Each structure stands twice: as structure tokens, then as C-alpha cells.
Amino acid sequence: MNLLVAYDVNTQTSAGARRLRQVAKICLGFGQRVQDSVFECSISPADMERFRARLLKVINVEEDSLRIYKLHSKREEVVEVHGRDLYRDLSDPLII
């Protein structure tokens, strides 16, 4: 399952700044950052449930915004990038 995750966390308080760091850390555990508050994830349906549950425990639904877009096609078919592209296909071989 391919996802695009975007969030906007109210950081006017120290609690908000803490939530922002927590949301970013959770997203890094499931995908890769492609912009400051945007992540692309390729995960299983079971991981999707865990991912969503962890994010919903952290965000404040009264102050923050979380959007999860399910991409029903391959990334190459639905994502058009202009400029610097930070995405790396993690299924490609890693050469060290």
C-alpha cells in the first residue's frame, strides 16, 4: 500500500513542538520524508493500522491536521516531481 502523509501541527506551545517531533519520528519509522511535513510510505495494510493508530495517539485533533492519501497506483504513475526529489526507492539494491 502506497501512502502520501502530510501533517500540520500547531507549534505555538512547547506541547505542540513536542507533538511535531513525535509525528515526524513516527513517519520516519514507516516511510521517508520528501518535504518538511510530507512523507511517502510503502507499507502493508497491517502496518497501516499501526501507523494510523500511533499518529492519532499523538496529534491533537482540535489543533493539528493529519492527511493520509492512499495511492492506488505505483508511485511513478501518480507522483510528478519538479525540482529536487528526495525520494529513494528502498526496494532497490543498496551498494556500499
Domain residue ranges in the chain: 2-72
pTM of the predicted protein model: 0.81
For 8, other C-beta atoms within 10 Å of its C-beta total 14
In the CATH hierarchy, which fold is given to the domain comprising 2-72? Alpha-Beta Plaits (3.30.70)
CB 3 within 8 A of CB 40: yes
Whether the predicted pLDDT of 85 surpasses 90: no
Give the pLDDT confidence of 34-75 residue by residue, as tens digits.
999 999 999 999 999 999 999 999 999 999 999 999 988 777
Whether the predicted pLDDT of 90 surpasses 60: no
